[in-house]
Amino acid sequence: MNKISLAIHGGAGTIVRNKLNADLEKLYREGLQRALDKGYSVLEKKGAALEAVKIAVMELEDNELFNAGKGSVFTNRGTHEMDASIMEGKELRAGAVGAVRNIRNPIALAEKIMLQSGHVFLGGEGAIEFAKQAGIELVEDAYFFSQFRFDQWKAVRDSDEFRLDHDIHLQDKKFGTVGAVAYDFEGNLAAATSTGGMTNKKFGRMGDTPVIGSGTYANNKTCAISCTGNGEIFLRTVAAYDVSALMEYKGYSLHHAMEEVVMKKLLPMEGDGGMIGIDAQGNIAMLFNSSGMYRGAKSSDGRNEVAIYKE
């Protein structure tokens, strides 16, 4: 039997045991496992890696614990602007969307952009117009409201401060992005990433998540990568593609390439966060330079795990 594998993440950052109570930790672990199981079930039925990463990310977007889709944070105007991207490694097709509102599952829109628009990256009102034409589900603003996110925003909304975290406590920075990478029966790779961005963000700010090569990348020759972290630094370093380039041009293994980028390139620039990856043989790596990353991995060799802290 050909190998199949899937990895997911739900954000990285300062995630410490004494700040996450047992009930909340249980909910996070259950949410990660559901997303892992749903994505992996696609692969088990000999479905495509592209479909698997979309399904896994949609499950995370529908879970308000994670800063994507339903759980997206508030902008400085009290709205929700979301970004997402998706890429498949066989033909290097990609789709991305930035700064959109009222889209229940931005990753589904990113896939439609890839498959039907003739473009790679759409944003703002044009993306909404395309979404309506493509039959993507739109929801009212109230769908995205949660008291937890509102309280985060309320703490900073009257200032010029923006926050890169899930928590209202600055010492508990959590970079709230979700993502998935997959390797299917045909040996194809795919990656997907989605986010609500940063609390109190202004000016239609977008980070690395919707930018192909920075937050998301897939190439059957090398790897599939989904990133989570300080978006501005991941953008400037083209972090996801950098892993692929090290593998393609220097012959690095997936883990070696990810370590080079996450630990040696991003960290000195205060690029806190991490990434998940799968290589062209279906091997999984999950690496982060912060104290934790919500993550999970499942493969046909018997691996099935979810984790939060540094183990």
Six token digits for residue 138: 């739109």
CB-facing half-sphere around the CA of 11: CA atoms within 13 A = 29
Catalytic residue chosen out of the listed positions 14, 75, 79, 177: 177
Distance from C-alpha of 311 to C-alpha of 17, rounded to nearest angstrom: 12
For residue range 263-293, what is the model confidence (pLDDT) as tens digits?
Answer: 999 999 989 999 999 999 999 999 999 989 9
For the question of residue 177 being annotated catalytic, the response is yes
Distance from C-alpha of 272 to C-alpha of 263, rounded to nearest angstrom: 9
For residue range 113-149, what is the model confidence (pLDDT) as tens digits?
Answer: 999 999 999 998 999 999 999 999 999 988 988 877 7
Q: Any residues with CB less than 8 A from the CB of 109 and at least 6 apart, and which? A: 84, 97, 100, 103, 127, 130, 131, 134, 136
In the chain, the domains with their CATH numbers are 5-309 (3.60.20.30)
Six token digits for residue 18: 């004494």
Single pTM value for the model: 0.93
For residue range 86-110, what is the model confidence (pLDDT) as tens digits?
Answer: 999 999 999 999 999 999 999 999 9
Tell how far CA 271 is from the center of its chain.
16
Distance from C-alpha of 235 to C-alpha of 226, rounded to nearest angstrom: 13
For residue range 249-269, what is the model confidence (pLDDT) as tens digits?
Answer: 999 999 999 999 999 999 999
Q: 113 near 87, Cβ under 8 Å? A: no
For residue range 211-223, what is the model confidence (pLDDT) as tens digits?
Answer: 999 999 999 999 9
The residue among 76, 12, 1 whose CA lies nearest residue 275 is 12
